[in-house]
Structure 1
Amino acid sequence: MTLRAILASVALCAITASAHAEQTFPAKLAGHAYFPAMTLIAPPADAPRDAWTSGKFTGKTRNEKPMTAPGDVGAAYGSHPTGLSLPFLGQPVQGMSGFAMNLAEDGSIYTLTDNGFGAKANSADALLFFHKMKPDFAGGKVERLDSIFLHDPDHKVPFRIAYEGTESRYLTGADFDPESIQVLNNEVWIGDEFGPYLIHATLDGKVLAVHPTKLNGKPLLGPDTPGVTVPASAGKDFQAQRSGGYEGMALQPGTNLLWAMLEKPLYSESGQPEGKALTVLTFDPAKNDWTGDSYKFPLGEGATNIGDFNFIDDTRALVIERDAGEGNASLECKADSTDKSACYPMPAKVKRIVLVDTAQIDQDGAMRRIGSIDLMNIDDPDGKSIKEIVKNDPDGKFTFPFQTIEDVIKIDDTHILVADDNNLPFSGGREIGKAAHNEFILLEVADFLSAK
Structure 2
Amino acid sequence: MRLSLSVLALASALAAPAIAEETFPATLAGHAYIPALTLITPPADAPRDTWISGKFTGKTRNDQPMSVMGNVGKGYGGHDTGIALPFIGQPMQGMSGFAMNLAEDGSIYALTDNGFGSKRNSPDAMLFFHKMAPDFANGTVERRDTIFLSDPDHKVPFRITYDGSKSRYLTGADFDLESIQVLNGEVWIGEEFGPYIIRAGLDGVVKAVYPTMLDGKELHGPDTYSVYVPAEAGKDYQVQRSGGYEGMALQPGTGLLWAMLEKPILGEDGKPEGNFLRVIKFDTNKAEWTGESVKFALTEGATAIGDFNFIDGTRALVIERDNGEGDAARACADGATDTSACYPKPAKVKNIVLVDTADIDADGFMRRIGHIDLLNIADPDGKALAGMKPAEGPFTFPFFTIEDVIALDDTHIIVANDNNLPFSGGREPGVAANNEFILLSVPELLAAK
When the two structures are superposed, what TM-score results if normalisation uses the length of structure 1? 0.95
Unaligned regions of 5+ residues in structure 1, if any?
A: 1-16
Higher-Rg structure is 1
Q: How far has the Cα of 1:389 moved from its partner?
A: 2.5
Counterpart secondary structure, 1:314 = coil
Aligned to 1:104: 103
Amino acid at match of 1:223: P
Aligned to 1:24: 23
Q: How far has the Cα of 1:363 moved from its partner?
A: 1.1
The 5 Å alignment of 1:31-430 reads 31-390=30-389, 392-395=390-393, 397-430=394-427
**Deviation string for 1:418-445 (max 9, x for gaps)?**
0000000000111111110010000000
Amino acid at match of 1:449: L
CA distance in 2, matches of 1:377, 1:421: 20
Amino acid at match of 1:193: E
1:110–1:260 distance in 2 versus 1, CA, 3 Å = same
| RMSD between aligned residues | 1.0
Counterpart secondary structure, 1:398 = coil
1:432 and 2:410 matched:
no
Q: How far has the Cα of 1:21 moved from its partner?
A: 3.3
1:442 and 2:432 matched:
no
**Deviation string for 1:385-419 (max 9, x for gaps)?**
002322x2425x20000000000000000000000
CA distance in 2, matches of 1:441, 1:56: 32
**Deviation string for 1:149-192 (max 9, x for gaps)?**
00000000000000000000000000000000000001100000
**Deviation string for 1:71-119 (max 9, x for gaps)?**
0101100110100000000000011000000000000000011000000
When the two structures are superposed, what TM-score results if normalisation uses the length of structure 2? 0.95
Q: 1:355·1:371 contact (CA, 8 Å) conserved in 2?
A: yes
CA distance in 2, matches of 1:331, 1:361: 40
Q: How far has the Cα of 1:374 moved from its partner?
A: 0.1
CA distance in 1, matches of 2:402, 2:247: 11
CA distance in 2, matches of 1:129, 1:393: 36
Identity of matched residues, %: 72
Query: Aligned pairs, how many?
Result: 433
Aligned to 2:6: none
CA distance in 2, matches of 1:232, 1:251: 33
Counterpart secondary structure, 1:294 = strand
Amino acid at match of 2:120: A
Tell me which stretches of 4 or more aligned residues in structure 1 moved more than 3 Å: none
CA distance in 1, matches of 2:387, 2:376: 19
CA distance in 2, matches of 1:127, 1:339: 37
Q: How far has the Cα of 1:41 moved from its partner?
A: 1.0
Q: 1:393·1:399 contact (CA, 8 Å) conserved in 2?
A: no
CA distance in 1, matches of 2:282, 2:215: 13
